[in-house]
Amino acid sequence: MTASPLPSAPLYRRLFAMLYDGLLLLAVLFIASAIPLIFTGGKAIEGHNLLLTGYFLLICFGFFGWFWTHGGQTLGMRAWRLQVIHEQTGPLNWLAALLRFASALPGWLVLMLGLAAYFNPQLQLPGILRWLQSLPHGSIALIGLLWLGFDNWPNGWRERMTRTRVIL
C-alpha cells in the first residue's frame, strides 16, 4: 500500500486524542496495579522495582498495541476520527506497533520526570540525570511536553522512523 491520500491529522486532534487515551490508560493502570498486590499480600511495592516498571510498560504497550493492530484506532483516536496506518501495509502489525510505542517513550519519560520533579522539588534524580535539577523549576516538564508536541507533528521524525502515519 502506498501513502494514503488522506491528510495527516492536525496536531490539536492528536493532542486531544492523547488526553482521552491518557485518561483511559490511567484507569487501566489503576486496575492493573491491583494484580501485583495479590502476590504481596496487599502490601505496597517499593517504587524502584524494575519488575513492576516492566509490568506497567507491558500494560501500556498492550493497551496501545491492541488498538493499533485491531483497526488502527485507540478510543481517543476514534473520538477524534484519527487512524494510525503503516505507509506500505496499511494496518499496523505488532512489530510496527512496538516500534511506534518505543519511539514515543523518550518524550513521555522526560515529561513524567519533569512532572515528578515539579510536584516534588525534593526529588533526587539518579546519577546522570542529576544535572537536570539545575534547570529552572518546571522546565523539564515543558521540555517533555514540547518533545511530545514535535514528536506528534504530522510527518515528524517518529512517523518517518516507524513508517507510520496518523490520518484523518
Site of grid cell 542529576: 130
Residue 68: its H or E element: helix 50-69
Give which of 105, 61, 65, 68 is closest to 83, Cα–Cα.
68
Q: How many other β-carbons are positioned within 10 Å of the β-carbon of residue 95?
A: 11
Q: Could you tell me if 1 and 57 are in contact, meaning their C-beta atoms sit under 8 angstroms apart?
A: no
Burial class, 35, CB count within 10 angstroms (exposed 0-12 / middle 13-18 / buried 19+): exposed
Per-residue pLDDT of the chain (168 residues; tens, 9 = 90+): 445 467 888 888 888 998 899 999 999 999 999 898 888 887 877 777 788 889 999 999 999 999 999 999 999 999 999 999 988 888 899 999 999 899 888 877 777 777 777 777 777 777 766 676 677 766 767 776 676 666 655 666 677 778 888 888
Reported pTM: 0.77
Q: Could you tell me if 116 and 64 are in contact, meaning their C-beta atoms sit under 8 angstroms apart?
A: no
Residue 21: its H or E element: helix 11-32
With the C-alpha atoms ordered 138, 139, 141, 146, is the resulting torsion angle positive or negative? positive
